[in-house]
Amino acid sequence: MKSSSFLLLVIVWMVMESRADLPGTWELLVADAGIASMHTAVTRFNTVVLLDRTHIGPTHKRLTQRHCLKDPVLKRDCYAHSALFDLTAGKIRPLMILTDTWCSSGQFLSDGTLLQTGGDGDGVKKIRRFTPCEPTSFCDWEELEDAELSQGRWYSTNQILPDGSVIIVGGRAATSVEFFPARRHGGAVNFPFLAETEDTQIDNLYPYLHLLPDGHLFVFANNKAVLYDYKKNVVLRKYPQLDGGPRNYPSAGSSVMLSLTGDYAAATIVVCGGAQYGAFIEKSIDTPAHGSCGRIEATKPDSVWEMEDMPFGRIMGDMVMLPTGEVLIINGAQAGTQGFEMASQPCLYPLLYRPDEPAGLRFMTLNPGSVPRMYHSTANLLPDGRILIAGSNPHYFYNFNAEFPTELRIEAFSPEYLLQEKANIRPTIIELPEKITYGGDFDILVTTELPVVGIVEVNIASAPFATHSFSQGQRMVKLRVSSAVPNGLGAYRISCTAPPDGRVAPPGYYMVFAVNTGVPSVAKWVKLH
């Protein structure tokens, strides 16, 4: 007994030591948010919209009695299924959602309003709107009465376009696209690519959409991708098939478009992870996920997928663009598939994907968390450079006694660039215009404790709608900048040029980060128009 106990202590010590040696830190932000956030979005007022679904039974956050709803599960539902988290005060207040937002989609509009579309049941054709406000003011969900989707959309994807409108693509039994506001022709437009990518598991749900700097859409579903001219409803190019099996829901991998930079002509797409085909049909929770990643320069003629492997197989991982242009891969499991109680072996280790390194050296394993984040978990970049981690409910209702219980804790993961020993090179933005215009020049003023060496980057990041392992509308643009010029009292002035047009960065609110030697500032919000 003594020897086995000693061996156990040695193993625990080794695990703790290995964790201590890996970059990144974790902190608990909220012990009980009241709801498990299936959908998460960060607003320009540094608040976070948390959104689950209705018809799920009781949550831990109550509404006032006068706001109770009729509900097929509870008959009289007095529980909140959405909430607003104030990052500064650490407080959460309930929001009122009327129709079912289960597996719905969303996107911020150019005026900062959060558009929310579709869902299940009574929400399948619904369009909702949340207009963010200062934390000291009151704002809530509005369900539009004068507009609805022309086709029911469950598991669809939204993307803001260069003119500020939104395209809504796909969904269960919806092989079409439509727009908000509705186009003159009205209704849905057939998109045959979605029918072509259906299989017996319907692995084309929540398609990956990326707006390329030429104004066309890169659309990925199942294991195929096309270049889509949404104005003419024409497929301009079919990309090579990505090996490794299906990548979209329910075989969920994840995808990002890497930072746009230079002359903004090139765009590179990365797709990582996914479940083995058949795991969903067979409800096999133990089938190992695969860890392959494909990378393709979508704007280059005749480009092909460059393949590499992550250190772990992973499904339901979230890919988050960091202010530096690197990518954080976090959350998910190493076996099974998406769906209720259909995954096992949580993947607690985040990965850092460094796109400028050569293949084989791009992945760095980071400090693991301790909370399994399985089905219906999310990850979002915060203005201070941390990553907010929320959700995880692999059950139809809330279940706190299962092997992987419904998760109401909200955490933050701090990448290595936020280590205390790097604090003296972290810049602070002290002057920035509230609005910038396409192609216009503007200055920002930053300070640092130590003198600036080299170029301070100025990078802008959108605030996406994160759900089901894909951040809808996620975008990072590295601006053209001059060298930092000393401006007295430890301050530096940096001249910047805004993106040239809405194809490079659609109109709206962006987080602006100054990045000094790989260390980002706290972001300030700017409106691009």
Query: How distant, in Å, are the alpha carbons of 36, 91, 509 from that of 445?
Result: 39, 32, 20
Residue 68 corresponds to which tokens in the numbers above?
A: 């109770």
CA distance 495 to 485: 9
Checking if the pLDDT of 1 tops 50, the result is: no
Quickly tell me which residue has 């060298």 as its tokens.
483
What is the structure's pLDDT at 19?
61
Q: Tens of pLDDT along 393-435? A: 999 999 999 999 999 999 999 999 999 999 999 999 999 999 9
Going by pLDDT thresholds of 50, 70 and 90, the confidence category of residue 8 is very low
Phi, psi of 11 (to 5 degrees): -65, -45
Write down the pTM of the prediction: 0.95
Handedness of CA 381, 382, 384, 388 (dihedral sign): negative
CA 216 to the chain's CA centroid: 21
SS3 266: coil
Checking if the pLDDT of 91 tops 90, the result is: yes
**Angle at alpha carbon of residue 491, lines to 488 and 497, rounded to 5°:** 120
Candidates 255, 253, 387; CA nearest to 323 is 387
SS3 424: helix
Residue 284 corresponds to which tokens in the numbers above?
A: 């096999």
Residues in the chain, total? 529
Going by pLDDT thresholds of 50, 70 and 90, the confidence category of residue 116 is very high
Q: Identify the burial level of 140 via C-beta atoms within 10 angstroms of its C-beta, where 0-12 means exposed, 13-18 middle and 19 or more buried.
A: middle
What is the structure's pLDDT at 76?
84
Amino acid of residue 462 = S
Mean pLDDT across the chain? 94
What is the structure's pLDDT at 225?
98
Cis peptide before 464 (omega within 30 of 0): no
CA distance 353 to 350: 10
Checking if the pLDDT of 352 tops 50, the result is: yes
Query: How distant, in Å, are the alpha carbons of 81, 171, 180, 287 from that of 395?
Result: 15, 21, 32, 19
SS3 296: strand
Q: Answer for the pair 108, 87: CB distance below 8 angstroms, yes or no.
A: no
CA distance 302 to 143: 45
Amino acid of residue 269 = I
| Biggest CA-to-CA distance, the chain | 78
Q: Answer for the pair 30, 87: CB distance below 8 angstroms, yes or no.
A: no
CA 243 to the chain's CA centroid: 24
Q: Answer for the pair 325, 353: CB distance below 8 angstroms, yes or no.
A: no
Number of Cβ within a 10 Å radius of residue 11: 10
What is the structure's pLDDT at 65?
66
CA 396 to the chain's CA centroid: 23
Query: How distant, in Å, are the alpha carbons of 131, 398, 413 from that of 108?
Result: 10, 28, 24
Burial string for 96-113 (b: 16+ CB within 10 Å, else e) reads ebbbbbbbbbbbbbbebb
Residue 376 corresponds to which tokens in the numbers above?
A: 């219906």
**Average of per-residue pLDDT across 183-191:** 87
CA distance 292 to 317: 13
Q: Tens of pLDDT along 123-175? A: 999 999 999 999 999 999 999 999 999 999 999 999 999 999 999 999 999 99
Higher pLDDT, 63 or 475: 475
Residue 235 corresponds to which tokens in the numbers above?
A: 């497929």
Burial string for 258-273 (b: 16+ CB within 10 Å, else e) reads bbbeeebeebbbbbbb
Q: Identify the burial level of 455 via C-beta atoms within 10 angstroms of its C-beta, where 0-12 means exposed, 13-18 middle and 19 or more buried.
A: middle
CA distance 250 to 315: 9
Burial string for 479-503 (b: 16+ CB within 10 Å, else e) reads bbbeebeebeeebbebbbbbbeebb
Residue 390 corresponds to which tokens in the numbers above?
A: 């929320």
What is the structure's pLDDT at 16?
47
Phi, psi of 422 (to 5 degrees): -100, 5
Candidates 135, 62, 51, 137; CA nearest to 99 is 51
Q: Tens of pLDDT along 234-255? A: 999 999 999 999 999 999 899 9
**Average of per-residue pLDDT across 366-386:** 98
What is the structure's pLDDT at 454?
87
DSSP string over 207-229: -EEEE-TTS-EEEEETTEEEEEE
CA distance 433 to 448: 20
- Of all residues in the chain, the percent with pLDDT exceeding 90 is 90
DSSP string over 155-183: S-EEEE-TTS-EEEE--TT--EEEEESPP
Amino acid of residue 349 = Y
Checking if the pLDDT of 17 tops 80, the result is: no
**Angle at alpha carbon of residue 308, lines to 302 and 314, rounded to 5°:** 120
Q: What domains does the chain contain, in order, with CATH numbers? A: 23-418 (2.130.10.80), 422-528 (2.60.40.10)
Q: How many CA atoms lie within 13 A of 153 on its CB side?
A: 30
**Which DSSP helix (H) or strand (E) runs through 476?**
strand 476-478
First to last CA, the chain: 70
Checking if the pLDDT of 12 tops 80, the result is: no
Query: How distant, in Å, are the alpha carbons of 6, 149, 290, 437, 449 from that of 229?
Result: 64, 21, 32, 26, 48
- Of all residues in the chain, the percent with pLDDT exceeding 70 is 96
Going by pLDDT thresholds of 50, 70 and 90, the confidence category of residue 519 is very high
Instruction: Name 308's bridge partners.
Output: 293
